[in-house]
Amino acid sequence: MLEGNTAPAPSGRPMRADARRNYERILAAATEAVARHGAEASLEEIARQAGVGSATLHRHFPSRQALLEAVFRGKVEALCASARDLAATQDPGRALGAWLRAVVTHAVRNRGLAASLVRGASGGDPALGATCHTMILNAGEELLAQARRAGAVRSDVSIADLLTLVSAISQATEGDPGGAVRAGRLLDLALNGVHPGPGTMI
Amino acid sequence: MLEGNTAPAPSGRPMRADARRNYERILAAATEAVARHGAEASLEEIARQAGVGSATLHRHFPSRQALLEAVFRGKVEALCASARDLAATQDPGRALGAWLRAVVTHAVRNRGLAASLVRGASGGDPALGATCHTMILNAGEELLAQARRAGAVRSDVSIADLLTLVSAISQATEGDPGGAVRAGRLLDLALNGVHPGPGTMI
DNA sequence: TCGTAAGCGGAGGACCACCCCACTTGTTGG
DNA sequence: CCAACAAGTGGGGTGGTCCTCCGCTTACGA
């Protein structure tokens, strides 16, 4: 934790001090609210908790998706780094499997992450919101290509499909107790199939 | 189609004529609204479309889940019948695969069905809302037991897991164009695994 | 025909996202 | 140092949601 999650000045000059402070307050409140209530947490409540007018929240984060992106940027970057790491140190098949499992684990631990990952795909304009989605897509693409070259995965499997599956599993198990083990079981099922036999990919 | 979808008198005496008429109007409006906007369609709008006060809608259908159950009861019954049919006529492995594919197909064609199926699981009180969920669970259970006896599926796979997976896939692909083929691909992936080799279960 | 209970729906409360606009405040050039 | 001003603020408004209360209407059986 403790990642200095601050990327508030995409425009020319640096932000005003108060604006930056508000940005960070909102981000902190959002992080907590999303952890507590999931991706559908009330924006109004987040603004209230941050001690800020709702207009300020909407100015800094034009859409719910933008806020979620900011909240989870650190996690997503960690996931991408982990992908690079696994690709370099593990054998291709295991690397992909381990990474997908890591994605599920993160998604189960951090409510709203899965939603944030998929929403980037279709919801909202592609220029702004899709960063998390594309980041993780690119990271996974490398891993998948490697596994495919090694003959560990079918050639008709795309990274988009795998991530959709992973997000779907995470969202389906979100909320119920014991969701973590359930999500793990479902991932195992999806990767190894329902047939009897040795599961070669964790 | 054209299933006479009317089960409005669970209590002792028959409903009053106007009540029954309103019940059916609401059901018709809900069917259309859910087809158009998915499981999150506005209840207020449904009541408006049915020419009925919102209180009337809430009296007939105490929860959104109850309304969805009523809307999809026919489809779910058809699915259950199809399970019985497949179990009797196909070899066990294929029967289960074909049925799961049928569930996905139905869920893709009828927006909100997948949500209705899973919501029954956790959301709401178990006495009233879980009918669709338990119906389809029971239907699938039979098919799975048969397939397991034939050695076509791993012994640690539960019907609940399979249906969660199927619903998750349906919901994940809901909304985007070409969702049907995408859903089919994802189901194939989940059933046969990511490894190369002959997929024995369609 | 008529009493009554079953059913009705509008109004209203509590919430929500989002936007407008009069006001405040940090910043910076003189 | 200070003043002009652009950048930033938040209260309040709009229009939407779900859901409930309660006084009125109406279908039905006696």
Q: Does residue A148 or residue B127 have the better pLDDT?
A: A148
Could B161 and A172 be called an inter-chain contact, meaning their C-beta atoms sit closer than 8 Å?
no
Among A114, A183, A164, residue whose Cα is nearest residue B183: A164
| Contact status, residue A147 vs residue A93, Cβ threshold 8 Å | yes
State pTM to two decimals: 0.90
**Given this model, what pLDDT does residue A124 score?**
45
Report protein residues in contact with nucleic acid strand C, where contact means CB under 7 Å. Answer: A 13-14, 16-18, 42-45, 54-55, 58, 62-64; B 15-16, 18-19, 21-22, 51-56, 59-60
| A38-47 pLDDT per residue, tens | 999 999 999 9
Q: Which residues of B9-22 are buried (b: 16+ CB within 10 A; e: fewer)?
A: eeeeeebeeeeeeb
| B154-185 pLDDT per residue, tens | 999 999 999 999 999 999 999 888 889 999 99
Closest approach of chain B CAs to the CA of A8, in angstroms? Answer: 31
Rounded mean pLDDT of A12-38?
Answer: 94
Q: Rounded mean pLDDT of chain A? A: 89
Query: What does R_g of chain B's alpha carbons equal in angstroms?
Result: 18
What residue spans of A38-176 are helical by DSSP H? 43-50, 54-60, 64-89, 92-109, 113-122, 126-129, 131-149, 159-173
Rounded mean pLDDT of A72-101?
Answer: 96
Q: Does the CA dihedral A140-A143-A146-A150 come out positive or negative?
A: negative
pLDDT surpassing 80 at residue A13: no
| Cα B29 from Cα B117, distance rounded (Å) | 20
pLDDT surpassing 80 at residue A72: yes
| B40-92 pLDDT per residue, tens | 999 999 999 999 999 999 999 999 999 999 999 999 999 999 999 999 999 99
Closest approach of chain B CAs to the CA of A133, in angstroms? Answer: 14
Strand D nucleotides within 7 Å of a protein CB: 7-13, 16-22, 26-28
Rounded mean pLDDT of B85-103?
Answer: 96
